[in-house]
Amino acid sequence: MRLRNVKNAKDILENYKYFISDVCSNKNEWSLKFGNKNPIMLEIGMGKGDFIIGMAKAHPEWNFIGIEKYESVLVRAVEKLEKEDITNVRVMAVDAKNLEEYFGNEIDTIYLNFSDPWPKKRHFKRRLTYKDFLKTYDGIFKSGARIILKTDNDSFFESSLISLNNYGYVFDLVILDLWSTERENVKTEYEIKFASKGFKIKYLEAHK
């Protein structure tokens, strides 16, 4: 999908209360930012925000942080957030490879929703379930580790299963066709698009 550039996206984001601009200032103090000690869930690659908004509304007992690399995409997410009456969401325009700069051991669960599958072999180290990323996640989990993943891409799903297993994760749930189940599922924009084209949505939950 072609990324549409939003002119002055950074300046636009600064005007929204949900947006965190000083990205390193809250490390080890995210509970203070939310004003409570509720579990903190992190969505890496939040896109236009449908998932994180839906989850925050469904689970007010949790706090949610969404990160998105592209500011133009994040603008669309915060525009949606501003229309909602929710207080348990914050978002940042940052890269996942630098997570330990923004978080201490504070995160309870990481969500990976329709991450870039990086299908070419020379790019496999960029996958968010590659061992180097899993090692980075170790540095931000509060206690233990929990990852929830959704994708339409068979190859990425298979490689993620292998990578997580090799890194010591245990699978609590693996579903090859999520939409055929009655499991609670907050859908993303990509998810609806891919499923409408006949792609099966794969899902896993794993802990370590």
Q: Exactly one of 116, 138, 154, 172 is catalytic; name it.
A: 116
Please measure the distance between the N-terminal and C-terminal CA atoms of the chain and give it in whole angstroms. 34
42 phi and psi angles, rounded to 5 deg = -115, 125
User: What are the angstrom distances between the C-alpha of 98 and each of 45, 107, 123?
Assistant: 13, 15, 18
Q: What is the C-alpha separation between 61 and 7, in angstroms, rounded?
A: 36
Cβ–Cβ < 8 Å for 68, 45: yes
Strand partners, 151: 202
State the DSSP code for 84: S
Whether 116 is catalytic: yes
Q: What is the C-alpha separation between 53 and 48, in angstroms, rounded?
A: 10
Q: Which amino acids are annotated catalytic?
A: 116
